[in-house]
A and B are shown apart, each in its own frame.
Chain A
């Protein structure tokens, strides 16, 4: 083989092998690290696979937040205000915008008793932000549409 062809062959096979390797790795990794999102109704109806990392979300039920007296353990209920709800346990610091009545996301596993053991709690980032996963949920209509046009009329404390 002349050197020109040899070089081209090397280059092409190098690029091809790298591409094939990456594509297969991407799919494998995606399969393992993809977290499905479930609304409260799915969790309540047992559609969520047990002991597997998933995301769930809903509104924090008023009066459901309870802190332990000697640790950072906390327990609260997420609801869709349509009759479906589930209990979440979490140990750690809650985000600044975690409040009762607010829409939040939790990431973790559902255990056999139907309790969601969260390892991460994500809340809205500011007054106008709603996690898009919660957008379609009734009662979670984002404040953005109204408050953007008319400042001062949004939900304020």
Chain B
């Protein structure tokens, strides 16, 4: 009964989405219809939430007559994993996607008094049209509420053990908030194209939502990277896997959009470019969904293959991209104003930033799609490995860092050369850091010295800038500086971790000692440990780092329901480095020998901490008075009208 109610709710939400988009797009100027669209949006969100709640209920009550539950849950699962199993597979995760989409719409509807009614109506209508597509996709190709009657299994097939983890409880919701959130700037762009109005105010409205979506996307990707690091047992944090690339591409577009919007907001320039980026961001989100959910690409974590689903998303993607670009082609050139600026200006630096980001995007897009194109053309199979991406990302990342380091000395419009002097002096300090790094590190590498030197340069120029302006700092400015400091931390973390990590794969007998990055690791042996739904072999390692010691207990788990084996790494996390031990396989049962993976990863935390700083900076910037003052001004203007 409950699952059927869920399906009806979803279909009802689809009907409401149809009504919202139809009404909103055809008669956005009608005040009655405007209020109608708002209540329809609330209704749509409500029914999506009901549908999602029905699926969660089926999981919580172990209703294995629902095929999706039977495939992704098991009665032995702890309750919190039963809940998170709701988004552990294709159908349920897409229902979560729909719920998040309707939540963004609800948030917009609640804040709609900040915008001109016709614009808010059009934005909501465009979003409803997208959500209608999503709901149709769910209902027609990926219904999570399908029943297995009368062949109801006694127990479920279990959730993939890799997903039985805290990281996977929070990673998909955050990531989807980012993916789907990019639909909001997209809708703002389409609405602006329909109305033919793009100005600084529009950019300010759009920027709030873009920052929010971008921050969520940043957090989602960071969590995914962190999860892969401790859960896969390989010790890596980024694999250039197609699914990772699928999330990285919209992030690059969104990052470019955040910067381009800043120019449109402050100087009224880059309008057409901003619109194009807003369209690209959401289109890349959809492309990501296509890559993950259609199975056209080789990836370790894509969902099951189903050509029908792939075809549906591909058609939807073509409609969205084709439709919005056609609109763009006819409308974007209107109201072009020439804004002049010199080479030493923030505008030009933002342009360089955007070119670098778009080139990075093109590289990832090419590296991800080339295998498909190649196979279609020649029938031979190829793979594109990390070296391809590294060739580009090292110079591109360094170029971006260099531009960023100069930024605090650059004004809008034009800059006197003299103002650059302190920045260049700071550059000498950066150079000093680079030289020190060159002499200290072993193995020494020019790229690492450059990257660390650039990171230090960014910190110095931004730090000094923050101190100089301490009396008149807006939240937006602090947010921006935070994000930039975070970027520098991430660059330094990546450079050091990538080159200075110590990795040893060895065969170890109990009581064996081994040296790892100046520490002494003793293997005490392996003992059996039982979990709620698995049996584990737990290795016990003592690590002595000279001043003190700690123990690490990596596990090899065998899950009872599916017989899946999984590695749980033992990690000792620190500000300056992680000690990481994972069990390989038992080699010799009589002696107790094991294959063991021992890593020391310096500054690996900086990669994620830097990314978190970026996301927090993006969120802080939204709280700026600049964006709220707008609302107060409008309210007082509205009251003045009402009073007269």
Contacts and interface: CB of A to CB of B under 8 A. Distances in A.
Contacts of B355: 14-15, 18
A113 interface: no
A37 B392 contact: no
B384 A22 contact: no
B636 interface: no
Interface stretch (B296-304, B526-534, B542-550): B296-304
B23 interface: no
A55 B383 contact: yes
Interface stretch (B118-126, B211-219, B359-367): B359-367
Contact of A34 (B67, B382, B588): B382
B563 A157 contact: yes
Nearest to B162: A126
A127 interface: yes
A72 B151 contact: no
A35 B338 CA distance: 48
Nearest to B587: A67
Interface in B547-566: 562-566
A128 interface: yes
A30 B383 CA distance: 10
Interface string A1-36: 001100100110011001100100110011011111
A49 interface: no
Interface in A74-96: 91-94, 96
B162 A132 contact: no
Contacts of A67: 587
Contact of B507 (A35, A72, A128, A132): A72
Contacts of A94: 584-585, 595
A5 B122 CA distance: 38
A86 B363 CA distance: 35
Interface in A100-144: 107, 122, 125-129, 131-133, 142, 144
A45 interface: no
A33 B384 contact: yes
Contact of B382 (A37, A125, A129): A37
Interface stretch (B152-160, B190-198, B460-468): B152-160
Given A22-B362, A29-B391, A126 B71 contact: no
Given A132-B298, A148-B304, A18 B359 contact: yes
Size bracket of the A interface: 35 or more
Given A3-B340, A35-B385, A93-B584, A152 B505 contact: no
Interface string B571-595: 0000000000000110110000001
Contact of B351 (A11, A37, A55, A127): A11
Contacts of B362: 22, 26
B381 A37 contact: yes
A129 B563 CA distance: 15
Given A22-B359, A93-B585, A133 B151 contact: no
Interface string A41-73: 000000000000001000000000001011110
Interface string B146-186: 00100101011100101000000000000000000000000
A145 to B, nearest CB: 9
Contacts of A156: 562-563
Given A125-B300, A132-B298, A30 B351 contact: no
A135 to B, nearest CB: 8
A33 B384 CA distance: 6
Contact of B384 (A15, A34, A97): A34
A37 B380 contact: yes
B387 interface: yes
Contacts of B597: 93
B567 interface: yes
B558 to A, nearest CB: 9
B588 A72 contact: no
Interface centre among A32, A69, A151, A156 (most CB of B within 10 A): A151
A155 to B, nearest CB: 9
A131 to B, nearest CB: 6
Contact of A33 (B67, B340, B388): B388
Contacts of A26: 362-363, 366, 392
Contacts of B623: none
A104 to B, nearest CB: 13
A32 B380 CA distance: 17
B517 interface: no
A127 B76 CA distance: 19
Given A15-B355, A22-B362, A151 B585 contact: no
B300 A92 contact: no
Nearest to A22: B359
The 6 A-B pairs with the shortest beta carbon distances in the complex, nearest first, are: A93-B584, A33-B388, A37-B381, A157-B563, A151-B157, A29-B391
25 contacts: A7-B340, A7-B341, A14-B352, A25-B392, A26-B363, A29-B388, A29-B392, A30-B370, A32-B388, A34-B374, A34-B384, A35-B383, A36-B380, A93-B585, A94-B584, A94-B595, A97-B565, A107-B385, A125-B300, A132-B295, A133-B381, A147-B157, A148-B304, A151-B153, A152-B70
Interface of A: 3-4, 7, 10-11, 14-15, 18-19, 22, 25-26, 29-30, 32-37, 55, 67, 69-72, 91-94, 96-97, 107, 122, 125-129, 131-133, 142, 144, 147-152, 154, 156-157
Interface of B: 67, 70-71, 148, 151, 153, 155-157, 160, 162, 233, 295, 297-298, 300-301, 304-305, 338, 340-343, 351-352, 355, 359, 362-363, 366-367, 370, 374, 380-385, 387-388, 391-392, 505-507, 562-567, 584-585, 587-588, 595, 597
Given A37-B383, A91-B505, A132-B305, 16 more contacts: A4-B338, A7-B341, A11-B351, A18-B355, A26-B362, A29-B387, A30-B367, A67-B587, A72-B507, A94-B585, A125-B301, A132-B295, A133-B298, A148-B304, A152-B155, A156-B563
